Amino acid sequence: MSDRAPLPASPNAVLHTILNRASVRRWEDRDVPDDVLETIVRAGRQAPFTGQSYSVVVTRDKAKREELSRIFGRMCLAAPVFMLICCDFRKLEKFIAAKGRTNRMEDLGLLLFSTQDAAYFGENMVLAAESLGLGTVFLGSAPFVADRLVPMFNLPPRVFPLVGLLLGYRAESPAPRPRVPLKFVLHWDQYHDLSDGDVEETLSVMDAGLIREGYYQKLNAKIALTDGTDDKVTLDEYGWGEHVSRKYSQWRRVVSDNLAKQGIIVK
């Protein structure tokens, strides 16, 4: 089936939830009960894991969400719940010590395992929330602002914020947004490198949908150029390709410093 083919009339409920998921940025003004949040976290725990080296801090606190809005934007006040998903070396190392041993894995290897654990946990929670009628959006810049999140949530050494997650009852139901075409993601038997034509095709697919929707325009999410060149790209021309190229070519060396502050050394 083509990745652009319509879904079957009566799709599997799990696949329907996954294939129709889209990030939400508007929520109803009502709380999410504790039992619903606990169910979502239980679903997160059922993801496949290596060392269970993750934790999540959940807050509804208005003052904290005010402070978070100054870090991540006003969405943190619109959503009733903020979750901070963390890589948790501290907990894993306590389990190891309980057996009379010391962790000897290099921190880079431990970070890769812990990131896997926390990412699986987070995605399971998102899908569980979607299935219960809630809307979510990940806040991926958490590692870059770890120095502000650590004191806010009293994170001890060897615990590191990986990603934020906003959650609440949705006040919008956006359609799924474009993805890199399946033929450039799915490789049979061996990796097939993208040609220049493949790259152009992918960018045209990604850009067309988001520019047509006015996605970045609505969010006012255009990243300013910092290299001194004139910015000739208008918001109505600004698409996914321009956004990611600006983001990844201009980010500073911040994460390694923040990791070191939490006692995690990546050489």
CA dist., res. 10 & res. 4, Å (int) = 17
Choose among 93, 65, 84: nearest CA to 125. Answer: 84
Answer yes or no: do 91 and 157 share one domain. yes
Answer yes or no: do 210 and 81 share one domain. no
Residue at a domain's end among 175, 192, 215: 175
pTM passes above 0.95: no
Q: Is the pLDDT of residue 172 over 60?
A: yes
Q: Is the pLDDT of residue 52 over 80?
A: yes
Q: What is the mean pLDDT of residues 80-94?
A: 97
Q: What is the pLDDT at residue 3?
A: 56
Task: Please report whether residue 5 resides in a domain.
Answer: no
Structure-block tokens of residue 243: 């956004």
Answer yes or no: do 149 and 39 share one domain. yes
Full residue range of the structural domain in which residue 204 is found: 182-250
Answer yes or no: do 49 and 151 share one domain. yes
Q: Mind listing the pLDDT tens digit for each residue in 181-215? A: 999 999 999 999 999 999 999 999 999 888 888 88
Q: Mind listing the pLDDT tens digit for each residue in 240-265? A: 998 999 988 887 778 999 999 999 99
Choose among 118, 123, 128, 120: nearest CA to 37. Answer: 128
Q: What is the pLDDT at residue 186?
A: 95
Task: Please report whether residue 141 resides in a domain.
Answer: yes
CATH of the domain at 93: 3.40.109.10
Residue at a domain's end among 121, 145, 175: 175
Would you say 240 and 221 are in contact if contact means Cβ atoms under 8 Å apart?
no
Would you say 16 and 7 are in contact if contact means Cβ atoms under 8 Å apart?
yes
Kind plus residue range of the DSSP H or E element containing 5? none
Answer yes or no: do 146 and 28 share one domain. yes
Residue at a domain's end among 143, 175, 207: 175
Could you give phi then psi for residue 130, rounded to 5 degrees? -60, -45
Task: Please report whether residue 201 resides in a domain.
Answer: yes
Answer yes or no: do 59 and 103 share one domain. yes
Domain count across the chain: 2
Could you give phi then psi for residue 91, rounded to 5 degrees? -65, -45
Residue, of 215 and 71, whose pLDDT is higher: 71
Task: Please report whether residue 255 resides in a domain.
Answer: no
Question: Which sign, positive or negative, has the C-alpha torsion 46, 51, 53, 55?
Answer: positive
